[in-house]
Amino acid sequence: MTITVAIPTLNRPGDMAEFMPTLQTQTLLPDQFIVVDAGDPSDLAEQMQTVLGETGMELLYLRSEKGLCLQRNVALDHATGDIIFFFDDDVELEPTYIEKVMECFAIESSPPIGCVQGTLIDPPGTIDGWKSSVYRAFGLTHWTSEQDPDLYIAGGVRFLTDPKDIVEVPVAQGCRMAFRREVFENERFVQFLPGYNQNEDVDMTFRVGRNWKILQTPFAKLLHKESPVSRIQYPAQLGQIIYAHWYFFTRHRDKTPASIAQYAWSHSGLMTLALARAVIKVQPEVLHGIKDGYQRCFNDLTSD
């Protein structure tokens, strides 16, 4: 099977310069490497040639309007691989990453394996403990070392930090997901928020999971540095989360009294944590994020 690696990027040539050597040293090299750049002019195309020009892989540098999902879809329009890897531009791969993910796609399964994600060396956020329990109680995204991944009513995810073996998961995370090409015969990424798109990976891989199996392997490791460059701050992120939860629930969940109550409970938890942060950290701008999120929900509700 042929392999494409695709990365959307925005003003992070330094992070890309740190990623490319980890691609060059893979035990299994991709056939094609696509970068879709929506940032300011830089020498990224030249860097690609300098670092990867003698590897034999096809190098494709494309310009695009800004939008995470838009940029991924641009890459899909040019991808030729049987398996398409998407990474964030601020990750670094262990040398066997691609090889170990490809081994998962060779597993026979019914339904077939449609998506595989590796495992982060440094998972973010609170792992287990009381905070994890609170996030779990409200169905909000958190990380756990326990072996019970989950997807909650509004699109919150219980991510595994260190699975003991290859395990089925409900959705995949955008910085480390690989897909079988056939997945995209019926699916594309949806740019339902401008620019950076919160939970777009959950939306996409939830739809994929209706017809394909999604796996996580502990044998493919990568570092996600979470670069501060071009990263939105918490108030803006909160507004996106509010709308992303609304979007996921209204598009993908049955509207029964029980599910609506679950959604309301999850949202009450999100608002409680956000308001507590606004008070404790003296961040009145959090209120602007809440207003923005509710405005987006209202606009969606009243649109044709």
Is residue 146 domain-resident? no
Asked if residues 244 and 198 have their Cβ atoms less than 8 Å apart, the reply is yes
Whether 135 maps to a domain, the answer reads no
**Over the stretch 97-112, which tens digit does the pLDDT of each residue have?**
999 999 999 999 999 9
Q: Could you give the CA distance from residue 54 to residue 280 in angstroms, rounded to a whole number?
A: 54
Is the per-residue pLDDT at 155 higher than 70?
Answer: yes
Share of the chain above pLDDT 70, in %: 98
- Do 116 and 246 belong together in one domain? no
**Domain boundary residue, one of 176, 206, 224:** 224
Q: Is the pLDDT of residue 129 over 90?
A: no
State residue 126's pLDDT score: 58
Q: Is residue 252 predicted with pLDDT exceeding 70?
A: yes
- Among 142-151, 178-187, 194-203, 208-217, which is the least confidently predicted range? 194-203
Residue 124 predicted with pLDDT over 90: no
* CATH code of the domain in which 58 resides: 3.90.550.10
Give per-residue pLDDT as tens, 5-64.
999 999 999 999 999 999 999 999 999 999 999 999 999 999 999 999 999 999 999 999
Burial environment of residue 175 by CB neighbours within 10 A (0 to 12, 13 to 18, 19 or more)? buried
Residue bearing the bigger pLDDT, 125 or 287:
287
Query: What is residue 128's predicted lDDT score, i.e. its pLDDT?
Result: 67
Q: Does 7 reside within a domain?
A: yes
Domain span at residue 260?
Answer: 234-302
Of 43-47, 169-173, 227-231, 237-241, minimum mean pLDDT range: 227-231
**What b/e sequence results for 266-279 when a residue is b if at least 16 CB atoms lie within 10 Å of its CB, and e otherwise?**
bbebbeebbeeebe
What value does the mean pLDDT of the chain take?
94
Q: Assess if residue 150 is contained within a domain.
A: no
Residues 209 and 238 in one domain: no
Q: What is the pLDDT of residue 113?
A: 98
Q: Which of 224, 255, 278 is the last residue of a domain?
A: 224
Query: Given this model, what pLDDT does residue 304 score?
Result: 65
Residues 170 and 255 in one domain: no
Instruction: Tell me which residue of 183, 253, 175 sits closest to 216, measured CA to CA.
Output: 175
Residue 217 and residue 265 in one domain: no
Look up the pTM and report it.
Answer: 0.95
Q: What's the average model confidence in pLDDT over 233-237?
A: 91
- One domain for residues 55 and 192: yes
Total domains in the chain come to 2
Residue 200 has pLDDT above 90, yes or no: yes
123 prior amide bond cis, ω within 30: no
Residues 296 and 176 occupy one common structural domain: no
Asked if 61 and 174 sit in the same domain, the reply is yes
Supply the pLDDT for residue 227: 81
